[in-house]
Structure formats: structure tokens, C-alpha cells
Amino acid sequence: MVTTDITPIKIQKSSNLRIKELDYNKITFGKLFSDHMFYADYKNNEWSDAQILPYGPLLMSPATSALHYGQAIFEGMKAYKNDKGEVFLFRPLDNHKRINISAERMAMATIPQEVFMSGLTQLVDLDRDWVPDTDGSSLYIRPFIVGTDEFIGVKPSDNYRFYIITSPAGKYYNEPVKVLVETNYIRAVEGGVGYVKASGNYGRSLFPAKLAQQRGYHQIVWTDARNHRYLEESGTMNLMFVIDDVLITPPLGDTILAGITRDSVLTLARDWKMKVQERKISIDEVLDAHKKGTLEDAFGTGTAATIAQIAQIGFEGKDYMLPPAEGRIFSNRVAKELEDIRKGKVPDIHNWMYKVG
Ligand SMILES: *Cc1c(COP(=O)(O)O)cnc(C)c1O
């Protein structure tokens, strides 16, 4: 068991606040970072030196192990502000559990809940003015852990640093997305690391995504590594279809990231007595439903975009148009319900919202 004594967190406030640079009506994703950041160090088998300090560059050795062999994992989550100005995190304890699943798979130090949650809540509380309250906006939060040994032998690092940075976020996609079903490159394999948020998963996806973008698509739908028939994820989102009033999503396993948005959508669908199936779904089944007119909805789910409706699916040189996004019953309803829960407009019956401060 890791021992931990990080309280109190040392806080050094910025003397040069940049909050005035934030135009609440023109928020772009992931470019502007809030005034402060958090970090804690893991050394001699324990987490210590937890601190909040002004956001900015840090000195590191060029031999830092994470830079060479990719012991680097992250989380993505959001804080929301309601009409009363109160700030809430969405299901943060689930992000904590997941970062430790990633840490274990990557042979990295896990992080105690107390370190994760106290760093998170104190940082967001200090920068609460950075949480926008306009429609569809939030504060995106990026916790991450990297190996920090100054050593270039291939082995698990003995030292780690856990950081949290935050960035105001508006809407991620402004329109329904066009996706290309990928049948050459792969994202994840059985026995691999597709189910964890390891940095390398994203680096490897960029080249195929770039090729798809050159052909006019927003992102790729990844298929199984063996046969390229079963649909797995869309970009960095989980994938869902509504066929004949049944909500279908690929089952969790080695190759699928267990999205918190995915789980939230499935939970709401079950609350609404909708039929839900977590099972393999092939491109053939989707195109067959498209032909019969029973493919009612298709969308990706993830923290950044929440619900990204799919307008068009490209497969083997043909494009298949889906029903107009505005008229889709399920994806529009669930997107609105999630936004309403997050902004405190409807009761939070599953206790997903975690109050800050
Ligand atoms: C983060 C992520 C998701 C979505 O997870 P959420 O918890 O809903 O944000 C889905 N797929 C991949 C590959 C991811 O990295």
C-alpha cells in the first residue's frame, strides 16, 4: 500500500491572472489554459510535494523516461457551472478509477483517491472563474501521469509526476460528423492497451485520421484488428447505433475504452425503458439496416464532444447518408438530458454531479 501525506497542498497563486484573455463567446477547444495547475511527485514509493502553482512550462531532463518509452497516461473530464454559479464535476470518481486501470496496465504508480480528488477540487475551486456557463460550455480538465526517471534504459520508471491542467471548452464539433470505416489501419488489438488512456494510442491514430481527413471525413470508425468487420470506436469516442428502436453499442473489452459518457448514455436509455444491447455490431449489419430504413441513429460519445451525431458513413468507396440529425429522437434527447443534468436543470438521480467548494 502506498502511503500518502499530501495535505495541505502548497498553493502559490499567480500574480498575473490571464482570465481577462478569455472571451466567453468564442471558446476554442484546448488552446487556452487556466491560471493554475496542480502536480504531485511520486518518489521513494510515495506521493508527496503536492502543489498548485501558476500554469507554465517546467524544466525537465531530456532523458525523462516518458518522452522515450511512453509511460504516459491521461484522463479527460469536465467541470460545469449552473445558473447559480455553482461548479460541479461530472462523475470524477470514475475518472479516478480509470486512471488507475491505465496506470496498472502501463506498469506505472497508481494514484490514491485522496491525492486525485483534493488536487482536482482545489485546483478547479481556485480557477472557478475559468468555468464558463454559456450553453454547451464547460471547463475541460486534463489529469495525467508521466514517468520521470532520468534514465534511458527500458524499464518501468521509479518516479512519476501527476499533473492536472484545465482549459475552457466550447462545443467540440459544430456539425454532425462524416466518418470513414477504416479497413487497413488498426487502433487496438486483443491483449493490447486499447482499453486504457495511454498516450501512444492517440499518437498512432493520427496518421490514418489524417488520410481520412484528406478525403473529406472528420474521423475514422475503427474496426476489429482481425477481420475489419466489427465496429469498435469512432475516433476517440465510443460508438452507438439505434436500429429498430434498439440502442446497440460494442461490448467492453481489451479494444474498447470504457467511456464514462458511454455508461451515462446506456444508464439513461435503460431509465427510459429503451432496449439496450452491448454486443458486437458489424458494418454489414449497419449497412443492411441502412438499406432497410431501420438505421435511425448513429453517434459517438465522449467527454469532449458529449454526443457527436454521425451524418455520413464511408465504406469501401461508397458513402451512406443517415437521417437528418435534427430529427433523431434518441441522440437529441440524451444530449439534452446530459446537458440539463450537468447544468442542474433536472434532478441528478444517479448522483453524477460532484460539487466543488
Ligand atoms: C476517452 C475516450 C473515450 C470516451 O470516454 P469518456 O469517459 O466518455 O470521455 C472513448 N474512446 C477513447 C479511445 C477514449 O480515449
The CATH number given to whatever domain includes residue 323 is 3.20.10.10
Residues 326 and 204 in one domain: yes
Does residue 348 lie in a domain region?
Answer: no
Residues 182 and 164 in one domain: no
Total domains in the fold of the chain: 2
| Residue 82 contacts residue 344 (beta carbons within 8 Å) | yes
Nearest CA to ligand 1 atom 5: 259
Does residue 127 lie in a domain region?
Answer: yes
pLDDT confidence bin for 7, thresholds 50/70/90? low
> Which residue from 94, 238, 264, 352 has its CB within 8 A of the most atoms of ligand 1, so it is best to mutate?
238
Rounded average pLDDT over 9-16: 96
Task: Among 115, 143, 169, give the residue marking a domain's end.
Answer: 169
Q: Mean of the per-residue pLDDT values for the chain? A: 95
Of ligand 1's atoms, which has the minimum distance to the CA of residue 95?
7
Q: What are phi and psi of 231, to 5 degrees?
A: -85, 135
Residues 153 and 15 in one domain: yes
Select from 168, 171, 167 the least CA-distant residue to 306. 171
Residues 162 and 221 in one domain: no
According to the model, what pLDDT value does residue 171 have?
A: 72
Number of residues that this document lists for the chain: 357
According to the model, what pLDDT value does residue 207 have?
A: 98
Whole-number Å distance between alpha carbons of 283 and 265: 22
Residues 235 and 104 in one domain: no
Task: Among 145, 169, 193, give the residue marking a domain's end.
Answer: 169
Does residue 61 lie in a domain region?
Answer: yes
pLDDT in tens, 250-271: 999 999 999 999 999 999 999 9
| Residue ranges making up the domain that contains 271 | 177-342
pLDDT in tens, 96-149: 999 999 999 999 999 999 999 999 999 999 999 999 998 889 999 999 999 999
Contacts of 68 (CB under 8 A, 6+ apart): 152
Beta bridge partners of 219: 179
Residues 126 and 165 in one domain: yes
Ligand 1 binding residues, C-beta < 6 A: 76, 197, 233, 236-238, 257, 259-262, 301-303
Does residue 193 lie in a domain region?
Answer: yes
State the residue for C-alpha cell 480557477.
127
Helix (H), strand (E) counts: the chain: 8, 19
Select from 202, 201, 184 the least CA-distant residue to 193. 201
Ligand 1: centre distance to CA 278 (Å): 16
Cell reading at 121: 477540487
Residues 133 and 203 in one domain: no
Does residue 38 lie in a domain region?
Answer: yes
Q: What are phi and psi of 59, to 5 degrees?
A: -80, 135
Residues 43 and 123 in one domain: yes
pLDDT confidence bin for 3, thresholds 50/70/90? very low
Of ligand 1's atoms, which has the minimum distance to the CA of residue 233?
11
Does residue 355 lie in a domain region?
Answer: no
Task: Among 134, 169, 204, give the residue marking a domain's end.
Answer: 169
Whole-number Å distance between alpha carbons of 296 and 283: 15
Whether the pLDDT of residue 1 is over 50: the answer is no
| Residue 87 contacts residue 133 (beta carbons within 8 Å) | no
Cell reading at 135: 450553453
pLDDT confidence bin for 28, thresholds 50/70/90? confident
Query: ω before 208 within 30° of 0 (cis)?
Result: no
Ligand 1: centre distance to CA 301 (Å): 8
> Which residue from 197, 236, 264 has its CB within 8 A of the most atoms of ligand 1, so it is best to mutate?
236
Ligand 1: centre distance to CA 7 (Å): 31
pLDDT in tens, 291-317: 999 999 999 999 988 999 999 999 999
pLDDT in tens, 146-155: 999 999 999 9
**Percent of the chain surpassing pLDDT 70:** 97
> Which residue from 237, 262, 303 has its CB within 8 A of the most atoms of ligand 1, so it is best to mutate?
237
CA 214 to the chain's CA centroid: 25
pLDDT in tens, 201-221: 999 999 999 999 999 999 999
Whether the pLDDT of residue 173 is over 80: the answer is no
The CATH number given to whatever domain includes residue 144 is 3.30.470.10
> Which residue from 93, 189, 204, 303 has its CB within 8 A of the most atoms of ligand 1, so it is best to mutate?
303
According to the model, what pLDDT value does residue 136 have?
A: 86
As a whole number of Å, the CA-based R_g of the chain is 21
Query: DSSP of 100-165, one letter per residue?
Result: HHHHHHTT-----HHHHHHHHHHHHHHTGGGS--STT-EEEEEEEEEE--B--SSS--S-EEEEEE
Residues 194 and 59 in one domain: no
Residues 64 and 151 in one domain: yes
pLDDT confidence bin for 25, thresholds 50/70/90? confident
* DSSP E strand boundaries for the chain: 3-4, 10-11, 36-43, 46-54, 72-74, 77-81, 87-90, 138-147, 160-169, 177-181, 219-223, 231-234, 237-243, 246-249, 275-278, 295-302, 306-315, 318-321, 353-356
Whether the pLDDT of residue 191 is over 90: the answer is yes
Q: What is the pTM of this model?
A: 0.96
pLDDT in tens, 71-105: 999 999 999 999 999 999 999 999 999 999 999 99
Whole-number Å distance between alpha carbons of 76 and 133: 19
pLDDT confidence bin for 4, thresholds 50/70/90? low
Residues 165 and 182 in one domain: no
Whole-number Å distance between alpha carbons of 266 and 227: 27
Does residue 350 lie in a domain region?
Answer: no
Residues 183 and 154 in one domain: no
Does residue 347 lie in a domain region?
Answer: no
